Structure 1
Amino acid sequence: MNNKYLSMLLLGGLALASSCSKYTDIKTQGSLIPSAIDNYRYILNNTSTFEYSGKMTDLAAADVAIVDSAQQATIEGNSDNFYLRNSYLWKSPIIEVTTSHDPDWDNYYGRIFNCNIVVNEVPTSTGGTDSTKAELIAEALTHRADAYLNLVNEYAKPYNSATASSDLGVPLVLTQDLNQKLNRTTVAVIYNKIEADLKEAIPALPKASAYNTLPDKAAAYSLLARFYLLKGDYTNAGLYADSALTLQSALNDLGTITTMPYRKNDPEIIFGKIAGSSFTYSPFILRLSDDILNLLGTKDMRYQLFTKSTSSYFGSNYTGRYFCREQINFESRNYGTSVPEMMLIKAEVLARAGSTDAAMDEVNLLRQKRFKAADYVALTATDKNDALVKVIEERRREFMCRLLPWMDQRRLKDDPLFSKTYTRTWQGQTYTLEPSSNRYVFPIATYVLGLNPEIEQNP
């Protein structure tokens, strides 16, 4: 690969490299010293470099129903919006314009590039103690692990212990070398690296950080809990969820709250990450499916606070309700780990182990904070399977339109309790997503493949 191509895989466009050049191209900065430790703290404190994630997974998940002809027609009218349609319909290619970048791929690999700068250059930097260097590296490892966990759960098959060592994963990029080959490694290799990075990071991370966008021990524990859940290792998922909850366990009481906290100060968020863009205005709104609305019910405060009538906001050509959480503080939706996620991971682990009552107790601890006191009714379960179904339903209510529903669809698609064929209609044509479909794996953009022909496309 020639330098002139400078793969979009590595940098998400050279914009990210440029944005951090004020820290690495020291010759232009008289106030900074080449190789000084402060340069790397500045990089890590540049939050926007590390917090942006993907956005297309929310369109693919069952929470969303783009059924109004007006919304469909508006999307069809602009090729820049075709990724909305193609993500929603599980089509290939998703990025239809061959000269266009994949925003999800770019965001994750751009973050990885900057993490690699810190991991590889901090050991030889000057002016810092060994503990300071270790903490900077630990932060970068945590950010990198989160990026790879999202990448492998978007562009590769769900983790399967029987096939992970042969299933194609994503390119594992650990250096800033722009000429390296970018062949895809396996799902198992990516998962092993995520696990190793997080476990290496934990000892050097602070017990608490000033903002949830900066990694601390709870952030690493919570990522490991999500990681093990996606891997199907429920014992470890529960252990790390408990570790995270020991350090952070606050919940917002939606039944009494008067002002929603801003994301960076939200006590529920453990590790703050945001979607690659906000879906706040037409035609980008996330119109909600009847399925998720019926599951919520009108007394649930997540229905009352986080959904709005679509027609009242966008006009009579739109129907139903849409996800309006982003309009409360005009912040993009959180993709990062949270206290509710850890509680529901713990509940799922208990349900799978047959501890039905304990699983429901954990679910109800959360639900008490999701209703007005007069409307709250505790859930019960008749057996192990009923408890598991109720936990997954609570995950759908809690995390609608926020990355995890698509991850859950992928990991549970072959489970008889949750296996389902999804159907969507677009301008008179019907599309289906069966449990065995390859469309649970996103295709890699043609532009990326053109720059990096060694990368194999997903089937």
Structure 2
Amino acid sequence: MKLIKSTIYSSIISLSLLLSSCESFLDIDPPKDQVSAENAFQDAKSAEATILGVYSNMNNFNNQFGSGLLAMLMSITADDYYSAFTSYDAYKLNNITPNTDYLDRLWSQPYSTIGHCNKVIEGVENSSLSAEIKKQISAEARFTRSFHYFYLVNLFKKIPLVTNSDVSSSNTQGQVSPEEVYNFLVQDLKQAEADIDDDYQGTERVRPNKKAVSALLARVYLYKGDYENAEISASKVIEDTRYQLMNNLNEVFLKTSKEALWQIQTVNTSTAGVNTWEGFSMVPVNATARGYYNVFQKTMDSFEVDDKRKTDWLKPYTITSGTFYTPYKYKIRTSIGSPVMEYNMVLRLAEQYLIRAEARLKLNKNKLAVDDVNAIRKRAGLILLPETIAANDLAIAIEKEKHLELLGEWGHRWFDLNRTNRAVAVLSQTKGNFTQEDTRIPIAQSILLSNINLKQNDQ
């Protein structure tokens, strides 16, 4: 079923919010029009509405975890781009403290979604729905729960692993090791992959399918160091002919993109004409206006001559102090009176080529790794790498292609540099005196106060 449009989003949100609780982690207002929880899973239509509500809650307001905030903060913390707004200076200067603005949202909002997913899983399993519906809805919830746990563990390392809807236990639960979280992710995603339909539920890609789960699993395997399974999972996605690297870069982030594995449709509840909140925040107000998010000069210098990504995914503007480039993957700020053209891109095919390239390099399949990198370089209009490239040079080439290809998307650059222990060596070139301590994202003080068993993630 296609994701229900904005005219009836309010009812979907109400259904999802009734599944929420008043955990101190979460700041969720009670819905105005409540439907009793016991009715939420009485039939397939109601059960479907609960999982649709999870997706709509991820993207219903600007500057929230799933609507561009994570991408923005981690891009600024790394070397993708920086903001002209001083409220983000702590991230640009890597001077993040437990009291830094927005930090609490990186914890509370993923746990809010996880709480919703836990309730969906429990509600479906305890219902009289058909086995087919149970598997589909539960698999989508497991996938979405794992998606958010992936970011929590990479942001904060030791985190509570909450897998039920018991409010009292979740508010007092202590932290577990990253290894335990990753083992859980593999288990949960493998079950979701087995249960979820390979077809999308409708004509758009706004609900995950089997290949979206495989894509996230490939990333988890890569981060876990399981390169054989990372290659296998990425190959499942790449070999599916429904997905293609779009030759026209200006079509990659459209809602009709064949590169999309999973997108989120914006719930437009506050600002008319929004396509994506990221586009609304970052696209200049008119063709001659300046941007307020500028790509770091060191990153601009990394683009090779004739790289189409510089031409199509960045927008130059000139002021008295010089010419700067602002991210321009999403090109629509608002489109009042026109159809929505762009959706928030969450998972896309290009990442799978780069995941497989890195996995293959680790498995000493260097020529195959070169082929994967060259698929991305060819699309960008660049000279292909030679098959004889040295392994060390290929590793740097993969790192560079992932940086420029996924620039500004979902914090990839920050997480990649940290998991490969390259953050200090790379970011010190842009940030100056960048040290290992600067790689730590602390837990917000307000979050620590909400659970007496939480401990700050000091290194």
Q: TM-score, normalised by structure 2?
A: 0.78
Query: Secondary structure at the residue paired with 1:270?
Result: strand
Displacement of 1:442 in angstroms is 1.0
Structure 1 residues 117 and 276 mapped into 2: Cα distance closer, same or farther (>3 Å)? farther
User: Does the Cα contact within 8 Å between 1:63 and 1:291 map onto a contact in 2?
Assistant: no
Which of the numbers 176, 182, 186 marks the counterpart of 2:177? Answer: 186
Displacement of 1:329 in angstroms is 6.6
Structure 1 residues 213 and 95 mapped into 2: Cα distance closer, same or farther (>3 Å)? farther
Q: How does 1:407-446 map to 2 (within 5 A)?
A: 407-413=415-421, 419-420=425-426, 422=428, 432-434=433-435, 437-446=436-445
What is the total number of aligned residue pairs between the two structures? 399
User: Does the Cα contact within 8 Å between 1:271 and 1:337 map onto a contact in 2?
Assistant: yes
The answer for the alignment partner of 2:246 in structure 1 is 252
The answer for the alignment partner of 1:160 in structure 2 is none
The answer for the alignment partner of 1:213 in structure 2 is 206
Which of the numbers 330, 345, 354 marks the counterpart of 1:344? Answer: 354
The answer for the alignment partner of 2:6 in structure 1 is none
User: Does the Cα contact within 8 Å between 1:350 and 1:356 map onto a contact in 2?
Assistant: yes
| Cα distance in structure 1, aligned partners of 2:333 and 2:379 | 20
| Cα distance in structure 2, aligned partners of 1:253 and 1:94 | 44
| Cα distance in structure 1, aligned partners of 2:41 and 2:206 | 27
Displacement of 1:271 in angstroms is 2.3
Query: Secondary structure at the residue paired with 2:347?
Result: coil
Structure 1 residues 284 and 88 mapped into 2: Cα distance closer, same or farther (>3 Å)? farther
User: Does the Cα contact within 8 Å between 2:160 and 2:175 map onto a contact in 1?
Assistant: yes
Which of the numbers 210, 216, 234 marks the counterpart of 2:227? Answer: 234
Q: Which runs of 5+ in 2 are unaligned?
A: 1-20, 60-64, 266-275, 285-289, 335-340
Displacement of 1:65 in angstroms is 4.5
Which of the numbers 253, 257, 268 marks the counterpart of 1:266? Answer: 257
| Cα distance in structure 2, aligned partners of 1:301 and 1:284 | 20
User: Does the Cα contact within 8 Å between 2:193 and 2:213 map onto a contact in 1?
Assistant: yes
User: Does the Cα contact within 8 Å between 1:95 and 1:101 map onto a contact in 2?
Assistant: yes
Query: Secondary structure at the residue paired with 1:327?
Result: coil
The answer for the alignment partner of 1:150 in structure 2 is 151
Query: Secondary structure at the residue paired with 1:271?
Result: strand
- Identical residues among aligned pairs (%): 21
| Cα distance in structure 2, aligned partners of 1:219 and 1:111 | 18
The answer for the alignment partner of 2:3 in structure 1 is none
Structure 1 residues 421 and 44 mapped into 2: Cα distance closer, same or farther (>3 Å)? closer
Query: Secondary structure at the residue paired with 1:337?
Result: strand
Once the two structures are superposed, residues 119-152 of structure 1 have per-residue CA deviations (whole angstroms, 9 ceiling, x without a partner) of: 11111223x2111111110110000011000110
Q: How does 1:12-91 map to 2 (within 5 A)?
A: 13-15=27-29, 18=31, 22-25=34-37, 35-46=42-53, 47-50=55-58, 53=66, 54-55=70-71, 56-65=73-82, 71=84, 74-75=85-86, 81=87, 84-91=88-95
| Cα distance in structure 2, aligned partners of 1:318 and 1:43 | 50
The answer for the alignment partner of 2:294 in structure 1 is 287
Displacement of 1:291 in angstroms is 2.3
| Cα distance in structure 2, aligned partners of 1:106 and 1:377 | 44
Query: Secondary structure at the residue paired with 1:453?
Result: coil
Query: Secondary structure at the residue paired with 1:368?
Result: helix
Q: Does 1:131 align with 2:132?
A: yes
Displacement of 1:194 in angstroms is 0.8
Give the letter for the 2:150 counterpart.
Answer: L
| Cα distance in structure 1, aligned partners of 2:223 and 2:291 | 29
Displacement of 1:332 in angstroms is 8.6
| Cα distance in structure 2, aligned partners of 1:440 and 1:24 | 45
Which of the numbers 359, 382, 386 marks the counterpart of 2:369? Answer: 359
Q: Does 1:171 align with 2:160?
A: yes
User: Does the Cα contact within 8 Å between 1:65 and 1:289 map onto a contact in 2?
Assistant: yes
Structure 1 residues 61 and 177 mapped into 2: Cα distance closer, same or farther (>3 Å)? same
Structure 1 residues 85 and 453 mapped into 2: Cα distance closer, same or farther (>3 Å)? farther
Structure 1 residues 101 and 301 mapped into 2: Cα distance closer, same or farther (>3 Å)? closer
User: Does the Cα contact within 8 Å between 1:108 and 1:147 map onto a contact in 2?
Assistant: yes
Q: Over the residues paired in the alignment, what is the CA RMSD in angstroms?
A: 3.0
Give the letter for the 1:14 counterpart.
Answer: I
The answer for the alignment partner of 2:451 in structure 1 is 452
